[in-house]
Amino acid sequence: MKTIINKINDRQLNSDIIKKAGNILREGGLVAFPTETVYGLGADALNENAAKKIYAAKGRPSDNPLIVHIADMEALEKIVRDIPDAARTVAERYWPGPLTMIFNKSSVVPYGTTGGLDTVAVRMPSHKVACALIEAGGGYIAAPSANTSGRPSPTKAEHVKEDMEGKIEMILDGGTVEIGLESTILDISVTPPMILRPGAVTKEMLEELLGEVTVDNALLDEEGGDPPKAPGMKYRHYAPKAKLCVVEGDGEAVVKEINRIADENIQKGNRVGIIGTQESIGAYLNGVVKCIGTRQDETTIANHLYAVLREFDEEDVDCILSEAFSGDGIGNAVMNRLLKAAGHHIIQV
Ligand code: TXA
Ligand code: MG
């Protein structure tokens, strides 16, 4: 299959391109598109055969459900059995935006989209291209992140091309995404609501609106505990080819330990990658050193994480050593993804 790649500017939408992309979706094809979180791989969510093509293109296990993307609240009514009051409160504040909610599904949503579940994950993205494509494509786009299963999520169209060229009809290239980590997933069908995947809308932000909010315990555990409630979180996602190890502790001690482990490995003939920040980068003496952002503003770290992991795949390093991050605000989502990529391999100093 020849994949058409179209550049698209979210401040000046080309309606011809959007229309063509919408028609591909209406005919059961696949279109990758930018959202504010990561690039999505879209198909008509209400067409079971189209949704199935997503699993084939990604090499994704069929029990891992897809998020349905909508453009307005009316669209929600048709695909869910009921809308809890708490969901309306959250939607009013955080939709459109980087937040997904889990509802009981109505019969129009095929099991091919929900991985056989009676619940459905729904998100209303804020990215202009995503919104226009949803409208053009019939109102309901099932879209996981547009990466091959097991690779880091794509934060620019080049990443999508690496993974999807030849497998899908079209890629809409809207440049680098704004956030860089996938949406927060909130199960609103339970009381109190539970976060199944941390993201840019944090636990603190949701608690301010809803009172108590819990976090799926399986997210904090090492592998081997209870399975996580979002089926996708159980896979060793976001995994770079090289072994990744996170070093946590006081700033100077971390730099010292990373330099020590790096030197030890280099002496053995290994190629070592190092993930540092603007604040520390000058202190790393050997290895392939990459700057992930600044600690002054952890949104920069969220924004670069997946691109840096992909760059290390290109560099053919044998191991990667990364500093740990704060765990507050968006830093919580950063650490969740980083620790998953590391298979929970962490050294405390
Ligand atoms: O930011 C995002 O959410 C991006 C963009 C494209 O919108 N999408 C995304 O989709 O990250 P994906 O498929 O890579 O991750 C969806 C996660 C998976 O972990 C999946 O198991 C979970 O959502 N999920 C989907 N439906 C669910 C359901 N009914 N119950 C529990 N978890 C669900
Ligand atoms: Mg994904």
Probe target for ligand 1 pocket from 127, 182, 184, with the most ligand atoms within 8 Å of CB = 182
Probe target for ligand 1 pocket from 30, 55, 67, with the most ligand atoms within 8 Å of CB = 67
Instruction: Compute, in angstroms, the gap from residue 123 CA to the centroid of ligand 1.
Output: 9
pLDDT, position 274: 98
Looking at ligand 1, which atom is closest to the CA of residue 229? Answer: 31
192 in Cβ contact with 212 (< 8 Å): yes
Q: Is 100 in the pocket of ligand 1 (CB under 6 A)?
A: yes
List the residue whose alpha carbon is closest to atom 17 of ligand 1: 232
* Below-70 pLDDT ranges, the chain: 220-225, 235-237
Looking at ligand 1, which atom is closest to the CA of residue 64? Answer: 21
pLDDT, position 302: 98
Ligand that comes closest to the CA of residue 231: 1
pLDDT, position 254: 98
pLDDT, position 59: 94
Residue 75 CB coordination number (10 Å): 17
List the residue whose alpha carbon is closest to atom 21 of ligand 1: 232
Buried b (16+ CB within 10 A) or exposed e, 189-228: beeebbbbbbbbbbbebbeeebeebeebebbeeeeeeeeb
pLDDT, position 327: 83
Whole-prediction pTM: 0.96
pLDDT, position 241: 86
Q: Is 147 in the pocket of ligand 1 (CB under 6 A)?
A: no
Looking at ligand 1, which atom is closest to the CA of residue 145? Answer: 14
**What is the total residue count of the chain?**
349
Q: Is 155 in the pocket of ligand 1 (CB under 6 A)?
A: no
Q: What is the layout of strands, in order, in the sheet containing 319-323?
A: 288-291, 272-276, 319-323, 243-248, 346-348
pLDDT, position 221: 63
Instruction: Compute, in angstroms, the gap from residue 44 CA to the centroid of ligand 2.
Output: 18
Q: Is 332 in the pocket of ligand 1 (CB under 6 A)?
A: no
pLDDT, position 220: 66
Q: Is 169 in the pocket of ligand 1 (CB under 6 A)?
A: no
Largest CA distance in the chain: 62
Q: Is 336 in the pocket of ligand 1 (CB under 6 A)?
A: no
According to DSSP, the residues that pair with 23 across neighbouring strands are none
Q: Is 37 in the pocket of ligand 1 (CB under 6 A)?
A: yes
pLDDT, position 231: 81
pLDDT, position 229: 85
The reply to whether omega before 193 is within 30° of 0 (cis) is no
pLDDT, position 222: 59
pLDDT, position 118: 96
pLDDT, position 224: 59
344 in Cβ contact with 222 (< 8 Å): yes
